[in-house]
Amino acid sequence: MRSSSEPSPETSMTAPHPVAITDPLLSAATDLTTTTVTHLTDEQTLHALRDLEQARRMLDSFAHALIVRASEGGLPARTGTGTLPKLLIHTLRISHPDATARVAAARTLGTWHDLTGTEVEPHHPATAAAQTEGAISTDHARAIAKILHKIPGTTSNPDFAAAEHILATAARDVHPEDLTTIGRDILARLDPDGRLSTDRDHQRRRSLRLGKQQPDGMSTLTGEITPTLRALLEPVLAKLARPGMNNPDDPHSPHGSDDHIDRDVLDAAARRDTRSTGQRTHDALQALLSPNVDTAALGTHRGLPVSTILTLSVAEVEAAAGVATTATGGTVPLTDALELAQQGLPWLMVFDHAGVPLHLGRTKRLATPAQRLALIAALRGCSRPGCDAPASLCAVHHVRDWREDGSTDIENLTLACDRCHAMVHDGPGGWKTVTLDQDSQFPGRTGWIAPPHIDPTATPRVNHRHHTSELLATTLARIHEQRTQEREQRQRWLSSHTRDIRAA
């Protein structure tokens, strides 16, 4: 109901423009556009870029509130546009996809009201809070919404709430594209028994299609492969598709196995390698199928045999549900993982309830570095925040450099992919690594300190990309504890209210 002091719709749309709440914003923007930036130092330029991005993100959050007001106030009907997207299209002169995306974002991130006028919590509360702070962008929020759309349930579902909390937390530190991998891992953990995709579905959908050869001689290869085939194929591709290996454009590129190739030769070939990931995968498959490659004697890759490495917890074995994680970053349903282990093909690492390695077995003895196996089982991939490189693409990195008396003990070792490993140095733009102490939230983990232009606070951060299951469990516990506290508070309020009524 409109108050007597509120102007009627007809008056509000025809009366002279009052002082707008956005006038200070437009004034500040005008001042900025007339400001000369050529005199800024590098540090001031980076600082301004960060502040401007934060302001943009906060303004996107404010736009949600305006869209909510327009919808709840009936503006589409009163303006004759009919729908919210059309209202934005005609008012702001934006495209239909942009208008639709903005309305969708407002529906999940905006604060709406029920029939009594009471505020209703956003459908994605953690994401909305992060955007309001300017910590995440619209692209982050859209990536999160796309992932959550695949999770059955609403905010009343603890799994949904935990997944949204994890994604919003991760979005504060990673790029929008990184959320896709995190979301894939969350969905795998939320659906360990195959309720959404069963083994029968995997087998039904499996296929590889070699298309007809085109006039230029090229052919298309498309299809879907099962988790088991991926687990078997990825270790081989990780070896043969390594940068610098099997490059047909480089006459000095090492071919076949890299076991006896000098490291300097391989590093030089990698620096010359300009192929995309897809091109390196193509050349690796060609090398794998060439007559001079013995697939049974591929040797080692980064000090380990070219074989599938599976890790899982004893709790998953006891529950007969869950997924095993491979060193190449994939997941395999528990039943398939145990079947592979029975065939004696992969390495199998089982952790106890405390996360301590309980079993490491193989049908035949191979001389491999135990420390690397332990790191693969514990870390699963590159330890730099935001990096999704699996363990198969990583080198062992000294957290404290050995030149600075850093030991080669397991406590001082971590995994870092070649690209991230090269980022650790003392020069401009260099990253640093530290081992987090027992008082931190993640004791014993490797903390990466970004250079000042990325993080002026020099806060050590850990990589959650390969540990979404533990994040999910922690967040579920936090949500459960929070809801328990809320129930106890309501009970105390009801008891107190009841006593007050009886006393009256």
Question: What's residue 415's pLDDT?
Answer: 86
Three-state DSSP class for residue 230: helix
Contact of 412 with 406, CB cutoff 8 Å: yes
Phi, psi of 473, deg, nearest 5? -65, -45
Calculated CA dihedral for residues 254, 257, 261, 264, nearest 10 degrees: 60
Q: Are strands 331-333 and 394-398 parallel, antiparallel or unpaired?
A: unpaired
Distance from C-alpha of 360 to C-alpha of 345, rounded to nearest angstrom:
13
pLDDT at 258: 54
pLDDT at 211: 81
Rounded Cα distance between 319 and 297, Å, is 37
Spatial distance between the Cα atoms of 407 and 207, rounded to a whole number of angstroms: 48
What pLDDT score does 198 carry?
Answer: 59
- What is the per-residue pLDDT for 98? 94
What is residue 350's predicted lDDT score, i.e. its pLDDT?
Answer: 53
- Report which DSSP code applies to 117: S
pLDDT of residue 156: 61
Going from the first residue of the chain to its last (504 residues), give the mean pLDDT of each consecutive group of 10, the final group possibly shorter.
45 54 92 93 92 95 96 93 94 94 95 92 94 95 91 68 87 83 75 55 78 78 82 77 87 73 81 89 81 51 51 53 57 61 51 44 36 69 85 80 66 82 87 88 86 89 76 64 75 77 70
Looking at residue 433, its pLDDT comes to 92
How far apart CA 131 and CA 110 sit, in angstroms, is 11
| DSSP secondary structure code for residue 214 in this structure | P
**In whole angstroms, what is the distance from residue 391 CA to residue 383 CA?**
9
